[in-house]
Amino acid sequence: MRLARFAALALAALLIACGEPLPTDKSAYEGEWRGPNIRLLITKEGNVEYERNEGKKKISINAPIKEFDGNNFSVGMGMFSTTFVVSMPPHLDRGVWKMTVDGVELVKGVGPAERQA
């Protein structure tokens, strides 16, 4: 049991340490984004925390950004990765930051990333 817990902590530390900083042209992606049953946190260090609740089903991802492809971005390590499809990149709409990811409009709120700025 201890060995499994240690391995999980070591893997989490490795994933966090492997993130590359956000490219300067993608700095608007940084922050905590929220939508219906979704929370997406993108840090300036290039790490992503994603939570999505769909009834009894909960999806959770905590991994570094591997790369950007246009507006889309992939997160994960090695062969374990997922791509977030960004159909509308971060933009101001009447003073509110919005972004559409995987078909869901997200709004940038005041989260940990903004409090540190």
Which structural domain range is residue 58 located in? 2-116
Structural domain count, the chain: 1
* 114 phi and psi angles, rounded to 5 deg: -75, -35
Helix (H) or strand (E) holding 15: helix 2-17
Sequential pLDDT tens for the chain (117 residues): 554 454 444 455 454 455 689 999 999 999 999 999 999 999 999 999 999 998 899 999 999 999 999 999 999 988 899 999 999 999 999 999 999 999 999 999 854 444 444
CA dist., res. 47 & res. 45, Å (int): 6
Residue 23, domain CATH: 2.40.128
Could you list the beta-strand ranges (E) of the chain: 31-35, 38-42, 47-54, 57-69, 72-77, 80-84, 86-93, 96-101, 104-109
Q: Return the pLDDT at 110.
A: 55
Which positions ≥6 away from 11 have C-beta within 8 Å? none
pTM: 0.77
